[in-house]
Structure 1
Amino acid sequence: MEEKRATKSSIAIFPLYNYPLFTEKNCIENNIILALEKSKIAIKDRDIFVIAQKIVSKSEGRIVDGKSVDVSSVALEIAIRNGFDPIQVQLAIRESTKILRTDRVLITVTKNGMVCNFSGVDKSNILEGYYVLLPENPDYSAQRIREFLEKETGKKIAVIISDTQGRPWRRGGMNIAIGSSGVDAFRYNKGRQDLYGRELKRSTICQIDEIAAAAEHMMGQGSEGYPVIIVRGVQYDSEHCESASDVPRDEKEDLFR
């Protein structure tokens, strides 16, 4: 039987140069527009902006001075037992609705329903003694940024807010989507044909995680300093109105809780 391959265009991934690094509360939307102008980048319809969670958190004032945090006895016990930072543990507990694991890791359920280490509380790429929390509502943050950029550029775009998280059954972290707008969380392949013409009965791909992971190659984790990445050429779905908050499994579907 002859194979049937769909024709696809190429994908381009490039950083937004000239984005200013900052540590105080600021307007991320205006900074992106200014960086686009300085970089002379012309935005096209269906471009995807993948934005590092940390600059979104900073722009929304989600920064905590460690000196202002009172560490509870529960947080101190977890920290001492595992060699963790007591302040980071306390903030992780504060940002969570449920603690799932406290041995070697601190796995929590965040207020947005994500299951992750330390509730996403981080102290890298920030001034010494300060901690960065996840955005309160990453989907809303993505929507706000998308609507502003669409108004300013006149183009129909999508926005993904990404963060690097670990995986329980594989080594190494991976960039995933924690907020999204303008692009569906999933791509449904049910009903499409495979290479040999057979109909796919079930196939659901988390396309926003795929896009976030691809963008991380340009974004980097250290001193690269490219917190905004533009992904162009992805044939993504956008008609189902699903966002990153729809990705975490319900507890009844989660085989590991």
Structure 2
Amino acid sequence: MTPPPLTIWPLTGIGEVTTGTDLVEAIVAAAAGALVDGDILVVTSKIVSKAEGRFRPAAERDAAIAEESVRIVAENEAGTVRIVESRLGIVAAAAGVDASNTPDGLILLLPEDPDASARALAAGIRDRTGARIGVIVSDTLGRAWREGQTDCAIGAAGVVVIEDLRGDVDATGRPLAVTLPCVADELASAADLVKRKSTGMPVAVVRGRGDLVGSLDLPGARSIVRPAERDLFALGTREAYAQGQADARVAESGG
């Protein structure tokens, strides 16, 4: 059976989001009755953070990054670039603390709980529209080994985040043994192609993957984070080398 076409478009007219903005109302109004069962809304995390009042004075940037971080993964020799694991489990530069598209003198932290934010949006929009939709909260992240950035899912509700294809077969009939596409990240990245970064359109609708939409109790984006015991790249090169030297010194001393 031929799959349905995939269609992605941005919602216009949402306007400036400030602390206390009702995002459900803003999104439903911008959608103007167009949402149907199976649609997936990809919402830029920045407007979620703004609505939740996650602002801090710019002068507190270092303190905010420290509070949002649980460990340093890697940093350059000058200390000007620091990759950390945030309290959300996300590995990113500066724990996602950002000053772009924010009022002068302020910085913005990631949402307190992106999965909870996604669930609240999905539940509210489902209630208001009657459409069984899913919600992905997206943010821009870099990638190890590759230049540039892409949008990824940091929150999700009512949508499958990882599609388990293990046990299926490919087009030639060969079994798929390890295929687990992170469809939430793929959808977030695809939606960013129409939202872009400076157009003032922070929400996109993805239509054509209704097979991924389900219960609000589905695992959220936090389930995408690889557990520490299976993380083969938990440290940067310099940090891993330093840790190895320290471990060697302890072993030599008999400690």
Pair in the same fold by TM > 0.5: yes
Other structure's SS at 1:188 match: coil
TM-score by length of 2: 0.85
Paired residue type of 1:180 = A
Q: Which residue of 2 aligns with 1:102?
A: 75
Q: Which amino acid aligns with 1:50?
A: V
* Alignment partner of 1:120 out of 89, 96, 100: 96
Corresponding position: 1:57 with 2:34: no
Give the TM-score normalised by the residue count of structure 1: 0.85
Say if 2:12 and 2:201, in contact at 8 Å, map to a contact too.
yes
CA RMSD of aligned residues (A): 1.6
- The aligned length equals 229
Structure 2: unaligned runs, 5 residues or longer: 235-255
Q: Using the TM superposition, give the Cα deviation of residue 29 of structure 1 relative to its aligned residue in structure 2, in angstroms.
A: 1.1
Aligned pair partner of 1:24 in 19, 33, 39: 19
> Is residue 148 of structure 1 aligned with residue 143 of structure 2?
no
**Could you give the per-residue CA deviations for residues 70-93 of structure 1, whole angstroms, max 9, x where no partner exists?**
xxxxxxxxxxxxxxxxx3x33211
Cα distance in structure 2, aligned partners of 1:199 and 1:102: 41
More displaced, 182-191 or 21-30? 21-30
Distance 1:241 1:44 in 2: 20
Q: Which has the higher helix share?
A: 2
Q: Which amino acid letter does the alignment assign opposite residue 21 of structure 1?
A: E
* Residue 230 (structure 1) aligns with: 205
Q: Does 1:200 align with 2:195?
A: no
Tell me whether 1:160 sits opposite 2:136 in the alignment. Answer: yes
Unaligned runs of 5+ in 1: 1-5, 70-86
Contact 1:139-1:178 within 8 A present in 2 as well: yes
Percent of residue pairs identical? 35
Structure 2 residue aligned with 1:246, among 199, 204, 223? 223
Deviates more, 1:47-56 or 1:21-30: 21-30
What is the rounded CA distance, in whole Å, between the counterparts of 2:17 and 2:222 in structure 1? 28
